[in-house]
Each structure stands twice: as C-alpha cells, then as structure tokens.
Structure 1
Amino acid sequence: MAVTIQYLVVRNGIEKMTFTNKKEADAYDRLLDLAEHLDALLASAPVALGEDDREALALYLAQHQEQLAGPKKKTARKTDKAADIKVVA
C-alpha cells in the first residue's frame, strides 16, 4: 500500500484545490488571500459589480499581480567610482 501526502487548500469550509507539494499549496493559499483583499477593495469601488463578477475580477487580478506591478526595472551595475566623481571648480 502506498501512502500519498496531499495538501488541501480550504476556504470557508470549501475545498478549493489539492496539491502534493506544500510549497505550491502555500502559494495558492497566498493567492486566495490576495484575492480576498482585492475583493474587499473592489466592493468599495465607485463601480457597480455583481458579487460573482467582483470575485472573478479579484481572482484574475491576484493571478496577474506581476503584470500589475509593471515591468521590472533593471538595476545599473556599479561602475568605477572614479567615473562617478564630479569635479567642482
């Protein structure tokens, strides 16, 4: 007999997803946390959204949070400090 470990993500008594990897289960749980916060924010928005539409939009935004943050800025590499020194006469 084989033993399989499963991680269940449960919200409000409802099983949302099953994982075999704890890291993935935790990541999905954090995604749902973010979606809940976004749903609360959207509930107070000055637009009329039905509850189902608001929940779907909140989950969509949570799933695409990297795109919402915008493009990552490239950090400049440190150059020779002598080139960074300005001479004031």
Structure 2
Amino acid sequence: MPVIIQYVVERDGEAKMTFASKQQADAYDKMLDLAELMGDLLGRSQMLNDNQTELLSLYLAQNKDELLAALQGKAKAVKKQKDEEGVLTEPSPSEPDDSAVDTVVTAFASAA
C-alpha cells in the first residue's frame, strides 16, 4: 500500500484545497491571506455586497502581479510579458466561466 502525503489548506475549520507539495500549499495559503486583506479593504468601501467583495478580492489576489504592475503604471508591460511567455490571455473552451468575476469587475467599475 503506497503512502501519499497531502497538504491541506484549511480556513475557519474548513478544508479549502489539497496539494501534493508543501510549496504549492503555502503559495495558495498566502494567496488566501492576500484575498482576506483585500476583502477587508474592499468591504470598507461599502460599494459591493459581501459576495462581490469576496469574488473581487480573490480575483485581485490571484492576479497580484498584474495588480501591482497596474498600480505602478506598468500594466501594459506585464501583459506583453505574459503574451511572450505563452500564457493564455483568452479563456479556452475547457476553462470555467469567469462571468461572475467579470460581473463583479463591471459592477465595481460602474460604481466608481
């Protein structure tokens, strides 16, 4: 019988995600920490409901490098670099629909 080691990221007593490596689990945990901080910041604005705040904070945390570049006025350089690296910039048909995040971003932009 093989022994399988799994790393589980847990928040508020709930298992969020399971990983095969500690490094991946730590990176996901840091992303959730950042999303929580973003959620606190966005929640103080009172422009979004709780669900929108959560979705937007997760989106921003997942795209922190692009967010940081945009805040520094370097968004085009980051997008160009990702295009050169071969990262998909358009969702493929096999990827999940991100329309909920798009809706939140649109709602956020129109509220500003």
The answer for the alignment partner of 1:64 in structure 2 is 63
Following superposition, the deviation at residue 48 of structure 1 comes to 2.1
Output the TM-score relative to the length of structure 2: 0.61
Moved over 2 A (4+): none
Q: Which runs of 5+ in 2 are unaligned?
A: 78-112
What is the correspondence of 1:16-55 to structure 2 with a 5 Å cutoff?
16-45=16-45, 47-55=46-54
Q: Which structure features the higher share of helix residues?
A: 2
The answer for the alignment partner of 1:78 in structure 2 is none
| Distance in structure 2 (CA, Å) of the matches to 1:32 and 1:69 | 17
| Distance in structure 1 (CA, Å) of the matches to 2:54 and 2:7 | 24
Structure 2 residue matching 1:44: 3-state secondary structure? helix
The answer for the alignment partner of 1:86 in structure 2 is none
The answer for the alignment partner of 1:79 in structure 2 is none
The answer for the alignment partner of 2:6 in structure 1 is 6
Output the TM-score relative to the length of structure 1: 0.76
Larger radius of gyration: 1
Following superposition, the deviation at residue 66 of structure 1 comes to 0.4
